[in-house]
Chain A
Amino acid sequence: MSAINKIKSTLENGSSPEEHSKEGRIRSYLRSDFIRSMPFWLPPTLLMGLFVYGGIFWNFVISLTDFSGVVRPEYALSNFDFEMYTRMLGDPSFHAAARNTILLLVVFTLLCLLVGLLLAILVDNLLKWQSILRTVFLLPFALSFVVTGVFWQWMYNPEIGTINTMFNLLGLDALALNWLGNPSLRLGAVMFALIWQYGGYAMIIYLASLRTIPQEHYEAAKVDGAGFFVTYWKVIIPQLSSASVSIAVVIMVFSLKAFAWLYTVFGSNPGPAADILGVMMYRVAFSANQWAYGAAIGSVLFVGTVMIVTPYLYYQYKRGEL
């Protein structure tokens, strides 16, 4: 920065640096872009730093105490320990929630990518109805988790729900299961509903990405003798890799936030079959007043998020997009 300023001030004043008086240097420093732009970036930076990163740090500090109930903890180094974290290791609720969170993260994300990709290819190959279908598939993405939560609670109702009614009509009574009630189906049912909601998002991004692939690539592949599937598998889909990465990151972050959906459907306790860390954190902190434990779960979630986002940022950085 200072080197640039020096050059700048030299240019502005038309004199060599040696001749510079101290005052002139200060004046030119004050006139530099760095200082002059400060009113624009400094307040947001400080506010961000304080409320976001300060909040994250404070959350971590709280997780080191044993803050619960309505008695303020003593913030002294001697009081800090990792008891909340060791408690996690022995807590079956945490195990279940962590397992479900990871499952949601991996399986849901992969399925979402797959569904989005298939939908995008399907829509891209349609001659008619493209824009209507695009809207139809994207619409659920625009709905809040609360709306879709209530909606799917109805859909999954084993007696009057649309899904089982449909299976019964088709004579597939064996498939008319208790989707949310049966613990072994619950997480799958949750994922299905979330895919319904986010598949459209993945589709739109893929579709936009497909549109950037020149028609000639399809034609070149065709002339090269590749069929429909080989063309997509070998020529088109590999070119969607950067879209896949961005979608995956967004979907993963959303899956960590599936809290609202689960809370709408199951309240603060979805049971071990569908509990996730977000819901557990809320329950522990806000229903049981176990602030420190909740903060510790929050810290684990934060580390998880960072672990997802960092490779992405690095990838973008390497591609020169950051």
Chain B
Amino acid sequence: MEELQEGFTEKYPNIEINDNPVAGGGGTNLQAVIRQKVLEGDPPSTWQDWPGANLQDYVDAGALKDISYIFEGEIEENYGDGALLSARAGDEENPYVAMPLNIHRVNNVFWDIASVEEAGVDMTSIGDPREYVEVLEQLDGELDIAPLGLSMAVPWTILQLWNANLVGLHGVEAYEGFQNGDDVTSEVEEALEVTQTQMGFATEDASSVGSDAARLKLPQGDAVSLMEGDWAAGNLFAAENYEYGDDWGHAPYPGTDGVYTINTDGFPYPKPNPTPDATDKWMEWVGSAEAQRRFCQPKGAIPCRTDVDMSEFSELLQNQADDYQSGTGILTLAHGDGVTPQQGTSLKNAMARFRDQGNVQATAQSLMDAMTL
């Protein structure tokens, strides 16, 4: 974030950035404060948020500005489709209202190479989630450690896994059907069944550990594989004596090769804007290749633009960027891009219930009901 601001100040030395961090509670408190300010008609110039459907409430309230004039031309040409959809608050009907900055891929599988080799499994050739379940079974039989690292203390990780299973089993059509509120009961149920089986392979303490702790199960030697967004790579890179390619591997989640499940971070453009000129310049800066290069590389995400020089990025991110350009982008259901706050909360509610009660039919119904909100 500092890198981003520094670059901006270098470019526009006469614009002062007044950074107002919201104290405490990380994201949630910030959201509440921003919403309150927007309600009062006194929004900040911009703030960092998940673009996509997460902003639908603001769009409905007419609180975001149409910034097509910033996108038209150079940015629109160089942004990937998924990122542009997120800029439209997740709906083609909307104008551009936010500037996405970076993209995390949600559909990944990570694994511990030594363990996988010991079990004689090839993680890169798994065809779909069902085969992945077979692999988990095999790992379970061969090794003493848990086949899957997963946090079940919070529901979003399960939702994320189910999202990947849905796409992995039934492709993008099923995902789109689900998002449109179509009847995709059998697909949703099948994905739930697979998810449920997978949960059985998780570490014993899955329900007591948060997502950070679950990721560290790999370098700690407590779990073999991990379904997570590529922010998890940050935890793995940070682990000592644990190298990408030698000690841990990465691939798109089984069955989702060619699909890029997008989770973006970016900046909404509220109206009325207290500093429209400066905010225009900020948006242009955020949308520029240089800003995205400077910001994304240390953050461990890929840029929204496809023309950024990736040479300084890690091998993993270079691969991700290639997949992003060649693949189909869909917006994640487990975070902000693909679902409104109401939908997201209801999906997580349903998943929390699923975790505790394991009722596939009821869960499928409440998941689909959630999307009609």
Majority DSSP secondary structure for residues of B touching A = helix
Q: Are B153 and A288 in contact (CB under 8 A)?
A: no
Q: Are B352 and A270 in contact (CB under 8 A)?
A: yes
Q: How far is the CB of B217 from chain A (nearest CB, A)?
A: 10
Q: Are B205 and A158 in contact (CB under 8 A)?
A: yes
For B48, the chain A residues whose CB sits under 8 A away are: none
| Interface-lining segment among B232-240, B259-267, B295-303, B353-361 | B353-361
Closest Cβ neighbor of A284 among chain B residues: B345
- Most chain B CB atoms below 10 A, which of A69, A157, A275: A69
A182 to B152, CA, bound (A): 11
For B28, the chain A residues whose CB sits under 8 A away are: 268, 286-287
Known: A181-B206, A273-B356. A288 touches B342 (CB 8 A): yes
Q: Does B57 contact A (CB under 8 A)?
A: yes
For B23, the chain A residues whose CB sits under 8 A away are: none
Q: Are A269 and B208 in contact (CB under 8 A)?
A: no
Known: A70-B57, A181-B208, A289-B57. A267 touches B345 (CB 8 A): no
Question: Which of B35, B207, B341 is in CB contact (< 8 Å) with A180?
Answer: B207
Would you list which residues of chain B between 96 and 126 have a CB under 8 Å from chain A? none
A280 to B355, CA, bound (A): 17
Q: Are A271 and B60 in contact (CB under 8 A)?
A: no
Q: How far is the CB of A11 from chain B (nearest CB, A)?
A: 55
The 8 A CB mask of B176-190 against A (1 = contact, 0 = none) is 000000000000000
A232 to B39, CA, bound (A): 60
Q: How far is the CB of B349 from chain A (nearest CB, A)?
A: 6
Q: Are B209 and A272 in contact (CB under 8 A)?
A: no
Q: How far is the CB of B200 from chain A (nearest CB, A)?
A: 12
Majority DSSP secondary structure for residues of A touching B = loop
Known: A69-B61, A267-B154. A286 touches B342 (CB 8 A): no
A180 to B208, CA, bound (A): 6
Q: Does A188 contact B (CB under 8 A)?
A: no
Q: Does A83 contact B (CB under 8 A)?
A: no
A229 to B214, CA, bound (A): 50
Known: A269-B348, A284-B345. A158 touches B61 (CB 8 A): no
For B68, the chain A residues whose CB sits under 8 A away are: none
Q: Are A289 and B352 in contact (CB under 8 A)?
A: no
For B134, the chain A residues whose CB sits under 8 A away are: none
Would you list which residues of chain A between 168 and 212 have a CB under 8 Å from chain B? 178-183, 186
A287 to B355, CA, bound (A): 20
For B205, the chain A residues whose CB sits under 8 A away are: 157-161, 178, 181
A178 to B349, CA, bound (A): 21
For A161, the chain B residues whose CB sits under 8 A away are: 205, 208
Q: Does A153 contact B (CB under 8 A)?
A: yes
For B344, the chain A residues whose CB sits under 8 A away are: 287-288
Closest Cβ neighbor of B209 among chain A residues: A157
Known: A269-B154, A270-B352. A158 touches B204 (CB 8 A): yes
Q: Are A271 and B155 in contact (CB under 8 A)?
A: yes
Would you list which residues of chain A between 258 and 307 have a CB under 8 Å from chain B? 265-273, 275, 283-284, 286-290
Given contacts A269-B348, A287-B28, A287-B341, 4 further A-B contacts (CB under 8 A): A69-B60, A158-B208, A273-B356, A284-B345
A-B contact pairs, 28 of them (CB 8 A): A69-B57, A69-B58, A70-B35, A71-B57, A71-B61, A72-B39, A93-B353, A153-B208, A156-B208, A157-B208, A157-B209, A158-B205, A159-B205, A160-B205, A178-B205, A180-B208, A181-B205, A181-B206, A182-B207, A183-B356, A266-B153, A268-B28, A270-B352, A272-B356, A283-B345, A286-B31, A287-B341, A289-B341
Q: Which 3 A-B pairs have the closest CB atoms?
A: A181-B207, A69-B57, A288-B345
